[in-house]
Structure 1
Amino acid sequence: MTSLLLVRHGETDWNRQRRIQGSTDIPLNEAGRAQAADAARHLRDILDTNAPVAMAASDLGRARETAQIIADALGVGGVGVYPDLRERAYGEAEGLRPEEFSERWGSWDRAEVPGAEAWPDVRRRVLRGLRSAVGDARSRTAPGTSTVIVVSHGALIREVIRHASAGEFPLDGERLPNGSIHRLRFEHDHLSLLSYEAAEDALRMTATTEAVAPAGRTA
């Protein structure tokens, strides 16, 4: 059994400008580097320090730099780079803002964008990449339970979560923040979702609201 921790890369200028990045290789900005350092601190808190840890990343620069910042902070030697873990290619939509996308192609869910990678192909690719990352980690580390930290991209991580939860998550319109961490189990070539940060934030918000809600009211 392998514990998979999927981390979305830190912020880029295109993230800040709400531009569609896809396979365009946009580097981290300073805020993104700070988010990567924050993710490393969070990972240090939740990792089993006695279990072997491996690092893997998409081959796009924003993911590789995020992974290297985390690896350096955790003392993990080396980051495996996997092109199969890169973001979905959005074809002619890359570089556009959402409103520009809507003007050209309408609804995001039903749009057929020239040059965009089909979602079934994305899913096959990312699952192949995760199998390779886990297999390589197992060959490099001690037998038994291990942990692989995988730094990838928002749409790709959403597709993995959707696959692992049989379509139950993420919720419609839910955005996975830069630097967010999502936990899965990889066992006998099967993925199971343990938690993802957007859902954890929602649960914390609900608990806080209920705690301060006046008696007789529901939040």
Structure 2
Amino acid sequence: MPDRPTIYFIRHGETDWNRELRYQGQRDIPLNDTGRAQARRNGETLRQFLPVIAETEFIASPLGRARETMEIIRAELGLPPSDYAIEPRLVELCYGAWEGTLQADIKRDTPEAFAARSRDPFRWRPDKGESYADLFVRVSAWAGTRQRDSVIVSHGGVSRCLRAYVLGLDPAVIPELESPQDRVLILGDGAMRWL
């Protein structure tokens, strides 16, 4: 979508639950040392854009792992670490009853739910959780209000939905999109690139 503001999107750094392949969703799991190093790396990468981004909005998910990532990035940029906004609509997909469960255990412990998710990963909703379709509505509503270039620190699911919205992708592909924690995603003028 041309003429939309540029978004510099960073997924929060790694947590122990990411490393273990454990569903964390909206659980507030802290960064580990690898995650802090990833945040520093992403801050260093953003330095090349400092004259542009110093005047942009900086916005983070309310979860601690996103806020800590943002604060490390801002410190790397020489900006006051805590001078950014919190946006509740940028919180991660809620995995409901699956939160805290290892991915490897899902297939064994809840085979019916695992099979249903495999059939339609975009619309499937875990017990007490959200579907990617739900998340896409939430993220699109926020993205549609953007007026200024922004540096965003949020989550993998949010990154996937934001790309589908900005790039006009078929939302059904959202669950399959990559979402690395050690790269910066630039979305602007209907295109994307990774740094």
What SS is found at the alignment partner of 1:2?
A: coil
CA–CA distance in 2 between the matches of 1:50 and 1:155?
Answer: 27
TM-score by length of 2: 0.81
- Verify the 8 A CA contact 1:20 1:93 in the aligned structure 2: yes
| Aligned match for 1:161, one of 160, 163, 187 | 163
Where structure 1 has 5 or more consecutive residues not aligned to the other structure, the ranges are 139-146, 186-191, 201-219
* CA drift at 1:71: 1.2
Moved more, 83-92 or 155-164: 155-164
Larger Rg, first or second structure (1 or 2): 1
What are the residue-to-residue correspondences of 1:15-34 with 2, within 5 Å? 15-34=18-37
* CA drift at 1:161: 1.0
Equivalent position amino acid for 1:167 in 2: L
CA deviation profile, 1:174-214 (whole Å, cap 9, x unmatched): 431113211113xxxxxx542243xx7xxxxxxxxxxxxxx
CA–CA distance in 2 between the matches of 1:173 and 1:128?
Answer: 22
- Verify the 8 A CA contact 1:5 1:182 in the aligned structure 2: yes
CA–CA distance in 1 between the matches of 2:86 and 2:174?
Answer: 29
Q: Which residue is 2:72 aligned to?
A: 69
Q: Which has the higher contact order (CA 8 A, sep 6+)?
A: 2
Q: Which has the higher strand share?
A: 1
2:114 matches 1:106: yes
Q: What is the percent sequence identity of the aligned residues?
A: 31
What SS is found at the alignment partner of 1:89?
A: coil
- Verify the 8 A CA contact 1:7 1:180 in the aligned structure 2: yes
* CA drift at 1:125: 1.5
* CA drift at 1:88: 0.5
Q: Taking structure 1 as reference, are residues 171 and 159 closer, same or farther at Cα in structure 2, changes over 3 Å only?
A: closer
| Aligned match for 1:122, one of 135, 146, 162 | 135
* CA drift at 1:67: 0.5
CA–CA distance in 2 between the matches of 1:175 and 1:71?
Answer: 25
Where structure 2 has 5 or more consecutive residues not aligned to the other structure, the ranges are none
| Aligned match for 1:97, one of 102, 108, 125 | 102
Equivalent position amino acid for 1:123 in 2: F
Count of aligned pairs: 180
Equivalent position amino acid for 1:9 in 2: H
TM-score by length of 1: 0.72
- Verify the 8 A CA contact 2:136 2:161 in the aligned structure 1: yes
Q: Which residue is 2:93 aligned to?
A: 88
Q: Which residue is 1:212 aligned to?
A: none
What are the residue-to-residue correspondences of 1:7-22 with 2, within 5 Å? 7-22=10-25
Aligned alpha-carbon RMSD (Å): 2.4
- Verify the 8 A CA contact 2:140 2:161 in the aligned structure 1: no
